Amino acid sequence: MVFLFFNGFICPLVFFQNLRLLLLLLFSFSLSAQQIARLRFDDNFSALKNDSLKKDFTDYLKEIRLGKEARLSVGGEWREQYQSYTHFNFGEVPSDFVTQSPYQLMHRTMLHANIEIPKGFRVFTQLNSTARFFNPNPITGQLDQNVLSLHQLFVDIPFSRQWKLRVGKQEYSLGLERFVATREGPNTRTPFYGINLKYHQKNLQWDAFVSHPIRIKPGVFDDEPTDEILGGFYLNYRAQKRMQFEPYYFYFESDLREYQFKRGLEKRHTIGLRSFSSSGNWNYDIELAGQMGQFNDLSIAAFMGVWDFNIALKKAFYVGFSGNYVPGDRSRSDSQLNTFNTLFARPPFGQTVALNITNTWNFSPYIRYQDFKKWLVTGRASFVSRESTADGIFTPNMTPARPILGKNQASIASDICNIYALDTQFFPTKHFSFQLELGYCDAGNYLKETGSGQNVHYYALRNVYRF
């Protein structure tokens, strides 16, 4: 049924669907001497420079010689994701929605080529095709569908073994993506137009960059840069075998964000520090950040604290708790804006609810099975409350979620919701992965008093093939 649906779609998707069938027929399930990275421009196939190490068909698409020294690698990804919601967004949906309980099939195909030229020069390019089916509600291009786009195209220009300049359209993933993320969960990933100065040595690496986020549209080659500016630096320093530090600074300028029903020019500075341990029998991750700047005639003064601690009860079994304290605006009548902006962060509570950590405090106990080979299973409960009753709550992309214009804006309730989620990931080979997500969200009094406050049920099944 999926094949017929795709073949009845428009030409670019027909091309990618036929390519997908070809890949499935030709590619074997065997493990190969390759490392497939989450950011595909970080793939490492250097072990395959020796042809005798190539074991399956996909290996011969890597380290293809172009002349005496230049090399070409070709790769890609096919992903299908089925999602089902009961009472999407707590039942608070726009008037043009047909249903508040949609189910949908999310399709994604990506193809890339990497050309390495002597002396460290490199060109990387990637095509993207995403589409949504079965959901009768309006399509959101930024998340759901982007029929065909040039997702990435950049060049690396080396100055030495440690220094290089990267210029072009590219993905960013910094730290745990609490500020700048690829947004892997939604159907369409997030690229930027940017310039990066990168430094790398054994225990120290950092990026300095300036970029324009991209407005993703649902059609063919119709994406366009926004006027927003995102820049700064991000540093990673390994102080000891297990101890790492990541100081960072971001500058963000935009007139697209909204606070308390007002839009204006926002110039925001973020200074932060993340300290965390490498994987072991006990682990920690602590991140603190402060923000300052100007929004219209208001001065910005905001803060974020996030933490995660866990300990291994026995091999591969962990128990832990995470959480956040992110204060909101203190008053609508003073000269300050205390709302914290998470910029382009990943969804902190997964796909069950479109909720950000801004103006919340949250406690999340969890249990996890992680064998670092085949399985990653996490069961988590998140108890989320509003920190300031003078401020609302936001979605992960910093769109105001509550209060809603024309509805109750004077609620002093604090409890937002309790989220219960199970995430199971299985990696049978280096090429294939499968994921099952189950989520239930119990809506709190703040949601019920300010609009629709229905409980949310969510499940999703995702399969990915990468080569």
Specify the pLDDT at position 3.
Answer: 35
- Nearest residue to 193 via CA among 152, 240, 143, 242: 152
What's the whole-model pTM score? 0.90
Mean pLDDT, residues 331-335: 93
| pLDDT at res. 52 | 64
Name the DSSP class of 344.
B
Arithmetic mean of pLDDT, 216-226: 95
**pLDDT band at residue 446 using 50, 70 and 90 as cut-offs:** very high
Is the pLDDT assigned to residue 316 strictly greater than 90?
yes
Q: Which domains does the chain have, with CATH numbers?
A: 2-466 (2.40.160.100)
Those residues whose C-beta lies under 8 Å from the C-beta of residue 11, and which sit 6 or more positions away, are none
Question: Does 12 score more than 70 pLDDT?
Answer: no
Segment 153-161 shows an average pLDDT of 96
pLDDT band, residue 2 (cuts 50/70/90): very low
> Which residue spans within 89-242 are E strands per DSSP?
103-117, 121-133, 146-158, 163-171, 191-200, 204-215, 224-225, 229-238
Whether the CB-CB separation of 203 and 235 falls below 8 Å is answered with no
Task: Measure the CA angle with vertex 201, ends 207 and 32; round to 5°.
Answer: 95
Half-sphere exposure of 36 (CA within 13 A, CB side): 20
Q: In this predicted structure, what is the pLDDT of residue 68?
A: 84
Output the pLDDT for position 140: 81
Q: How many C-beta atoms surround the C-beta of residue 46 within 10 A?
A: 14
**Average pLDDT, rounded, for the chain:** 91
Rounded to whole angstroms, the Cα distance separating 217 from 213 reads: 13
Express each pLDDT in 410-421 by its tens digit: 999 999 999 999
* Structure token pair of residue 287: 């991140």
**pLDDT greater than 50 at residue 212:** yes
Question: What is the average pLDDT across 150-168?
Answer: 97
Give me the pLDDT at residue 119, please: 84
Q: Compute the distance between CA of residue 323 and CA of residue 308 in angstroms, rounded to an integer.
A: 7
